[in-house]
Chains A and B, each alone.
Chain A
């Protein structure tokens, strides 16, 4: 009875055996990082419902023009993109071309082609310089500026009129006066819809901070807990406590939070992506009389807009250089690129694209603003982690029991540890 092999021991033996077997063989499978030179794998983020059809069509056309080449497409929504790409990296199933919102870590790990290895000089010169610079790591461009948004303030002209204002506030003092006037109106208006939830909170706070002379990084030094940033968070906290925002701004996001409020005409001012269809469609459908502005500034700071760009990047694998080069070249052909931007309702990152859109009734005004955009320090590898923490925690900074300085100190420590 004692020596009998029980199912339990059998099970354990089986389990261990399988684990060992699988661990032993599943280790370094590098076969897939060697391309056959003909087929490449394209992993892209899903911006809208139009994303997948666009790429399917583009790939069909590309394969027709380049017989023998095939492109495997994988479209992943933003909510799962990061975890999926991490799985690919960890299991060494790298895509050949990837579209995501960061690149520095991949460049730092030596996984990427330099931009000039897979793109002609002529095409590279077409990128708007500030974008190309924001796609460079350690002075070398690794990523390809893909699409951009410029973010700033939309205001509801009708509400501002009602409050007796002839335009959007230019300074923080004016802003506060305006907010008081709007709150006193009978319409139960929200003076400023603030979205510090984890979807866009970092962008919105960064915009306010820069309008106060602060920033995440100044002259190559991390300044997350700089005086101006602390002052900004305290200012936003005051706005919240004074009831100048909608309730719980720390838990509010844009697309399902502040933007619909603005589209309902209940909000006087809001931070939004200029021209983004998800925002504009609702606003125009509702017939809101709106204007576009930069955020009010403090300490006499120069006004600015907030530029955000996403990237394409090419992973270094045996035998894929030519196919990757061909495909990137095909995508960035002005007509293909412009078509993509129209599908997604986003702004160009190339000069030729900008030219194409400059005369556009709708996009023209925003394209002009592109060149004045200021960026987050996305070329710093630690930014990915920093932004994650900011997204997750900044919103708690406006709740009554949080000390803004303490919060920013903690995040500064992450930045410095990673730098």
Chain B
């Protein structure tokens, strides 16, 4: 590893790896050339810098500005007020509880999500009958609108009429119904469970994409050298997975920290702060309780500062800019040696200390292992089936709910199946609201934004992975900041900006906004993935006379297929389900410019919520994402083989 690290250029300008060792003397032409070379990263990053700064900078600055303004209950600005908003915020009696909740939420949800996702990704990287089903099943919770997922979980969590209680009582685990989301002593944990379940699919895919870039030979080598599965995992897989882990952890932290929907939909209308995190509390401060947008902005600013520190500390510890590729990019023999060293080091230690004590256990393990080997194909399929069932269950509940009558939805105990299967809901809903038009609009916005994200993020990710330049880590950090703003806090700034550029209710503006806010994830995921593709490929191609752009296009992007796919799906789903910004900025029924998420709100009345149609529409809205995924899923697998058979 040490050896390989030394082959990297020293910190500084990008250095095209020239075949000759000595740098030629600097002539004027040469100097111009080298300036051009030095500006390469900037040129490659320009599109993303432009989009992000044009779209995000103003609303972000406006949010900060708002935190110093006195804004009255109806939103009128009463002038500059200095730090008064911050003082009021710190005087709130609920503050300590909210901070505690937020910390707990962050640690538990991110921790368990990553833990479960690691296992799941490992599982999905094995080949077994039905693997495709499991992958598809994971897409569903991801593709489903979070609002609808949370709504169906609220139904599942109901007390006397809840499905979970019915199930647990039927199998004898509970004697009396539990008020899963109402009882203040369990509510927050119930919501955490939903937070974890909804974060797992995305995390798993990021990790899976990472696993697939690990060359097969390495694992083979470890096997040949006698490493057990655990040793291989601990010493080979995990270290090689580090870039993806980092991405998964950071993105999860941001995602989970700003998770508004899940908590709000499930517990937003229950009294008290036992389930509030800073984001839901911010909404309460601005719009439902204190009615103080200035104080809410102050909280948003503190949120961003805290998140920045958290991510910075985190990045410092895990150091994404330390070149991880070196571990995998050395030539074959070196890699073997490294593996052997790692494996033998580990086994020696084990041999010395543990072997005598655990001999019987080892023998038992061997037996179990042999038994497992025999049933492995079936066993994996069965486990896969169970996992699929688990992730699909809420949507099965949604499907059944879409067919139940209102009375059945609230019946005690909850019936599993509807009495009458009113499939006509699925036909009627198209006539109740202009659903076809909503689909068209959402599809247009999501597809164009996804394409734009890929186009803009790919060069940025490539150059970030392939050249070392000052400000590289800073850039990676800065793009992440765009993910730290809670949407509700940016809304007013975005709206002002839209007014200024005459972009309210226009396609181009909502697409640009969605593109800008999704670049960060895309750049991070692709950067991590490209980093783990050996750089010798570029070098070889460069010697063959290919330009950088062609190298990226023809060599690297095909190899980064898993990441491209993850990004495509991720972006598509994010844009497809985006609600808060569209509601304000892209909501013009007169000109048929209403996206699906906004349109289905018509089924939510003051007292009457038409769950049948809501659920029906929500389920149908999952379909485009699942189709998209099914179409490119093959590439996900072939990306794997391309990576290993190179």
A82 cross-chain contacts in B, Cβ below 8 A: 287-288
Q: Are B607 and A109 in contact (CB under 8 A)?
A: no
The answer to whether A6 and B470 touch (CB under 8 A), given A26-B58, A250-B270, A396-B271, is yes
CB-contact partner of A86 in B50, B54, B74, B499, under 8 A: B74
B159 at the interface (CB under 8 A from A): yes
Q: Are B271 and A247 in contact (CB under 8 A)?
A: no
Q: How large is the interface on B (under 10, 10 to 19, 20 to 34, 35 or more residues)?
A: 35 or more
Chain B 87-104 interface 0/1 with A at a Cβ cutoff of 8 Å (1 = within): 000000100000000000
- Taken together as a complex, chains A and B put the C-alpha atoms of A16 and B602 apart, in Å, by 40
Task: Please count the residue pairs between chain A and chain B whose beta carbons lie under 8 angstroms apart in the complex.
Answer: 255
B601 cross-chain contacts in A, Cβ below 8 A: 46, 77, 80
A389 at the interface (CB under 8 A from B): yes
Which of B38-46, B166-174, B395-403, B626-634 has 4 or more CB atoms under 8 Å from chain A? Answer: B38-46
CB-contact partner of B58 in A19, A83, A196, under 8 A: A19
Interface size on A, residues (CB 8 A): 93
- Taken together as a complex, chains A and B put the C-alpha atoms of A85 and B270 apart, in Å, by 23
A384 cross-chain contacts in B, Cβ below 8 A: 73, 291
The closest CB in chain A to the CB of B62 belongs to: A23
Q: Are A392 and B289 in contact (CB under 8 A)?
A: yes
Would you give the shortest CB distance from A360 to chain B, in whole angstroms? 20
Chain A 68-80 interface 0/1 with B at a Cβ cutoff of 8 Å (1 = within): 0000111111111
Q: Are A392 and B49 in contact (CB under 8 A)?
A: no
Would you give the shortest CB distance from A6 to chain B, in whole angstroms? 4
- Taken together as a complex, chains A and B put the C-alpha atoms of A273 and B608 apart, in Å, by 13
CB-contact partner of B54 in A18, A80, A246, under 8 A: A18
B488 at the interface (CB under 8 A from A): yes
A278 at the interface (CB under 8 A from B): yes
Q: Are B289 and A11 in contact (CB under 8 A)?
A: no
Which B439-470 residues have a C-beta within 8 angstroms of A? Answer: 469-470
Which B449-498 residues have a C-beta within 8 angstroms of A? Answer: 469-471, 474-475, 478, 488, 491-492, 495-497
Q: Are B495 and A87 in contact (CB under 8 A)?
A: yes
- Taken together as a complex, chains A and B put the C-alpha atoms of A394 and B54 apart, in Å, by 44
Q: Are B471 and A49 in contact (CB under 8 A)?
A: no
- Taken together as a complex, chains A and B put the C-alpha atoms of A6 and B12 apart, in Å, by 11
A166 at the interface (CB under 8 A from B): no
Q: Are A48 and B606 in contact (CB under 8 A)?
A: yes
Would you give the shortest CB distance from A90 to chain B, in whole angstroms? 4
B641 at the interface (CB under 8 A from A): no
Q: Are B499 and A29 in contact (CB under 8 A)?
A: yes
Q: Are B58 and A22 in contact (CB under 8 A)?
A: yes
Q: Are A391 and B606 in contact (CB under 8 A)?
A: no
B491 cross-chain contacts in A, Cβ below 8 A: 83, 87
Which of A138-146, A197-205, A214-222, A328-336 has 4 or more CB atoms under 8 Å from chain B? Answer: A197-205
Q: Are A247 and B411 in contact (CB under 8 A)?
A: no
Q: Are B607 and A278 in contact (CB under 8 A)?
A: yes
The answer to whether A86 and B293 touch (CB under 8 A), given A11-B478, A105-B74, is yes
B592 at the interface (CB under 8 A from A): no
Q: Are A256 and B50 in contact (CB under 8 A)?
A: no
Which of A225-233, A279-287, A364-372 has 4 or more CB atoms under 8 Å from chain B? Answer: A279-287
Q: Are A286 and B288 in contact (CB under 8 A)?
A: no
Q: Are A83 and B488 in contact (CB under 8 A)?
A: yes
The answer to whether A83 and B606 touch (CB under 8 A), given A15-B53, A264-B410, is no
Q: Are A7 and B471 in contact (CB under 8 A)?
A: yes
Q: Are B583 and A84 in contact (CB under 8 A)?
A: yes
The answer to whether A7 and B475 touch (CB under 8 A), given A14-B50, A282-B407, is yes
B23 at the interface (CB under 8 A from A): no
B13 cross-chain contacts in A, Cβ below 8 A: 1
Which A34-77 residues have a C-beta within 8 angstroms of B? Answer: 45-49, 51-52, 72-77
Which A360-419 residues have a C-beta within 8 angstroms of B? Answer: 381, 384-385, 388-389, 391-396, 399, 410
Q: Are A18 and B65 in contact (CB under 8 A)?
A: no
- Taken together as a complex, chains A and B put the C-alpha atoms of A261 and B161 apart, in Å, by 9
The closest CB in chain A to the CB of B42 belongs to: A7
- Taken together as a complex, chains A and B put the C-alpha atoms of A309 and B428 apart, in Å, by 33
B364 at the interface (CB under 8 A from A): no
- Taken together as a complex, chains A and B put the C-alpha atoms of A395 and B127 apart, in Å, by 52
Q: Are B50 and A279 in contact (CB under 8 A)?
A: no
> A1, A49, A255: which has the most chain B beta carbons within 10 Å?
A49
A299 at the interface (CB under 8 A from B): no
Q: A73-B589, A75-B589, A247-B159 are known contacts; what are 11 more A-B pairs with Cβ within 8 Å? A: A7-B45, A7-B469, A7-B475, A18-B53, A46-B605, A72-B590, A75-B602, A83-B488, A86-B286, A86-B287, A391-B271
| 18 residue pairs from A and B, CB less than 8 Å apart | A7-B49, A18-B57, A22-B57, A46-B602, A47-B606, A74-B587, A82-B288, A83-B287, A89-B76, A109-B72, A196-B271, A198-B288, A251-B270, A286-B407, A385-B291, A389-B290, A392-B289, A396-B271
Write the residues of chain B forming the contact surface with A, with a CB cutoff of 8 angstroms: 12-13, 38, 41-42, 45, 49-50, 53-54, 57-58, 60-62, 65, 71-77, 93, 159-161, 179, 181-184, 187, 267-272, 283-284, 286-291, 293, 406-407, 409-412, 432, 469-471, 474-475, 478, 488, 491-492, 495-497, 499-500, 583-584, 587, 589-590, 601-610
Q: Which 9 A-B pairs have the closest CB atoms?
A: A395-B271, A260-B410, A8-B471, A278-B607, A251-B182, A22-B58, A251-B270, A86-B75, A89-B75
